Each structure stands twice: as C-alpha cells, then as structure tokens.
Amino acid sequence: MVAMSDTLPATPRRTRLERARRLHVVLALLVGLVALISLNVGATGFSLVNVIAKTLRGEALSRMESVVLWDIRLPRLVMGLLVGAALATSGAVMQGLFRNPLADPGIVGVTAGGMLGATLAIVLGGMLPAGLLAMTGGTLVPIAAFAGSWLTTILLYRVSTRAGRTSVATMLLAGIAFTALAGALVGILIYKADDSQLRDLTFWNMGSLAGANWVKLASAAPIILAALVGAMLLGRGLNGLALGEATAHHIGIPVQWMKNGAILAVAAASGAAVAVSGGIGFVGIVVPHLLRLATGPDHRALLLNSALLGAALLVAADMIARVVIAPAELPIGIVTAVMGAPFFLWILLRQRGVVDL
C-alpha cells in the first residue's frame, strides 16, 4: 500500500463520525416511512390513504376507522417505536459499559430481572394496601419492572467487577445464573397465579405489542423517554470507557458518575420496555452491531442511530408479526428471535478469536 505522505493537504474526506451523523437523517426518514406503512397494515380493511383523504375533505371518520386508528394502531405504533428505541439503545449503552459487543440486557439477565419485577406486580400487586395501589395506579407494573431491571444491573456489575475491571465471562455466567433464578421465581408466581393473570403472563413472556393502549403508554413513555435522553448524553463517556476505566478517568470523564448514569439508563429503558411489551430479544445486539459495521463505534453517533434503527426495526417486526398469520398474530418476540438469533451466532463465528471467555 502506498503510504500517504504528510504533505497531502488535510483532505476533505468525510470521517466516519460525519457519515454516522448523516445516517441520523436517513434513519429518521426510515422511521417515518416504516411508521406510515405500519399504520396502513393490519387485519381490518383500513386504509390510511382513505383516512387522510377524508380528513383533507373535512369529512368525519367512520367509527371503525377512528377506533382502529386512534385506539389500536397509533398506540401500538408509538409503543413499538419507544420499545424498539429503548431496547436498541440499552444494548448499545450496555455494550459500551461492559466494553463488549455481546452484552445485551436480554442476555445478561437484566430483562429477566425486569420480568420478575413485573410478574411480582401482576400476581401479588393485588395484595398491596388499597391506598398504595391507588397511588401507583396503572404504573405499578412498569415501576416494578424498572426496579427489577435496575437491581439486576447493579448486581451484575458488582459481581463481575473487581478493582475497576469488569470481567465479561463472569458477567455472562452471573447473567445465566440470575436468569435461571428469576425464571424459577417467576415459575413459583405462575403457580400461584389465577387464570387471567396466567394469560397475561404467558403472552407477555413471548413479547407482544398487542396490548398497547394509551394508559400503558402513559406509564411507560415518560420513563423510556427520560432514559433515552439520558443515554444520549453518555456518548463521550462511553468512548472514553472503551480505553479502560483508568484512561477514561485520565481524559477527564467522571467515571463512577457516568457508570451509574449508564446503569440507570439501561435499567429504566429496558425495564419499562419489558414491562409493556414482555420479552423481545436480540434488538439490543443486532442493531448496534450493524451500525458499528456501517459507521464505526463512536458512541456520540451510535446511540442516536441505535435508537432510530431500533425503533424502525421493531415496528417492522411488529408488522410481520401482524401479517404472517393474519387475522391472528404472532408474538413479536418470536419474530425478533427468529431474525436475531442466527445473526447473533454469525457475530460469534465472525469474531471467534476476539471473544475470550
């Protein structure tokens, strides 16, 4: 290869960061496009074009149209966008935090912790004093899921970090142990659950956006949005952390503060996402990985791109889930697992030498 000489002018070549920032726009457009298609696709013969035409002509929507649009498809779309963004961003943040591209809330047990919290709330929530129950209102399940995820993330970080070094092997193994333990506890709760709770839990385990409504959204959206905004501030810190905690400190990053922020953001985003949509896997691994391949690992752009692509991908997966066996629908967790698991294996095979356990 011909060595570039020093005398070359500072070329106007575009850096990967600049390309990644252009990708923001492309992905934002993609999100918009997928969202429009998603509103148009479904079991009923509902056409967005008709609705828009009617609105433009100033005609009232039929009752069916109004219900399908406002009470079914729109909340589901918004939920899909939020959950997708939350899962993908959590994945990117967690990978940065653990300094490993395979870390993901679903794999290391954070999702299991959220699920345990939510299950506890669903099954045992009724036993809380009525006053407390009224105070939490519809937000009990998301709050419990969030608390479960948060505690799990902290626990995992404590277990796998010694003297400032985080062992990925320990983290994954601790995640497996914790997932098993949480699964057992959830099993006990299921054993005690009544029929309606059981139905809730089963569907919820497979992951679905089917139950989306404005009440659920009102409880989850603020948590997810706050976590996403917080996560977007972590870019520079996560870049520094890629050089190790000591070096991150040397270049001026308040490491402990930043790690706590990252843990809180991951727990909040994935906890709330789990609470409203159940176990949707692999989005958090696939999305950041694809983006790193495309425009490099710089977290300053990676986090926002992950949120956008995650949102688009999850809404697309939800469309597939709604369409393939219409008029019934597949749980979306099955769709993401079918698409994501082979991809995950492919990553493992590609970097066999790099993942040292």
Partner 1 sequence: MLVARNIHVSLGTSRVLDGLSLSALPGQITCIVGPNGSGKTTSLRAITGDVPYTGQITLGGKDIATLKPRELAALRGVLPQASTLAFPFTVNEVVQIGLHHGTSGDHDGITRAALRRVDLLKYADRPYQDLSGGEQQRVQLARVLAQVWEPVVDRTPRWLFLDEPVSSLDIAHQLQVMRIARDFAGAGGGVVAVMHDLNLTAMFADRVILLAGGACLATGSPAEVMTSPLLSRAYGCDLQVGRTPPPGTPFLLPHLAALAAE
Q: Which is nearer to partner 1, 6 or 194 (CB)?
A: 6
Q: With 0-12 CB in 10 A as exposed, 13-18 as middle and 19+ as buried, what is 165?
A: exposed
Q: Are 255 and 248 in contact (CB under 8 A)?
A: yes
Strand 161-162, strand 165-166: pairing:
antiparallel
How many residues contact partner 1, by CB under 8 A?
32
Phi, psi (degrees; rounded to nearest 5) at 185: -65, -40
Question: Per CB under 8 A, which region of 71-79, 98-106, 150-158, 329-337 contacts partner 1?
Answer: 98-106
Q: Are 138 and 218 in contact (CB under 8 A)?
A: yes
Q: How long, in residues, is the chain?
A: 357
100 is a contact residue toward partner 1 (CB under 8 A): yes
Spatial separation of the C-alpha atoms in residues 240 and 252, rounded to whole Å = 9
99 is a contact residue toward partner 1 (CB under 8 A): yes
244 is a contact residue toward partner 1 (CB under 8 A): yes
Q: Which is nearer to partner 1, 238 or 263 (CB)?
A: 238
Candidate list 21, 24, 54, 249; residue touching partner 1; CB under 8 A:
249
Q: How far is the CB of 73 from partner 1 (least distance, A)?
A: 38
Among residues 338, 273, 340, 284, the alpha carbon closest in space to that of 113 is found at 273
Q: Whose structure tokens read 């597949």?
A: 330
357 is a contact residue toward partner 1 (CB under 8 A): no
254 is a contact residue toward partner 1 (CB under 8 A): yes
Q: Which is nearer to partner 1, 54 or 300 (CB)?
A: 300
Q: Which amino acid makes up residue 266?
A: V
3 is a contact residue toward partner 1 (CB under 8 A): yes
91 is a contact residue toward partner 1 (CB under 8 A): no
* CA dihedral (38, 44, 45, 48) positive or negative: negative
Candidate list 82, 122, 144, 253; residue touching partner 1; CB under 8 A:
253
State which of positions 12-31 bind partner 1 (CB under 8 A): 15-17
Catalogue the E-assigned strands of 252-318.
none
Q: Which amino acid makes up residue 325?
A: I
Candidate list 31, 140, 231, 255; residue touching partner 1; CB under 8 A:
255
Question: Per CB under 8 A, which region of 45-53, 147-155, 241-249, 332-340 contacts partner 1?
Answer: 241-249
Q: Which is nearer to partner 1, 6 or 195 (CB)?
A: 6
Answer left, alpha or beta for residue 164, where phi above 0 means left and psi between -120 and 50 means alpha.
left
Spatial separation of the C-alpha atoms in residues 271 and 24, rounded to whole Å = 26
Q: Which is nearer to partner 1, 66 or 256 (CB)?
A: 256
Interface residues toward partner 1, by CB under 8 A: 3-6, 10, 15-17, 96, 99-101, 236, 239-244, 246-247, 249-255, 292, 296-298
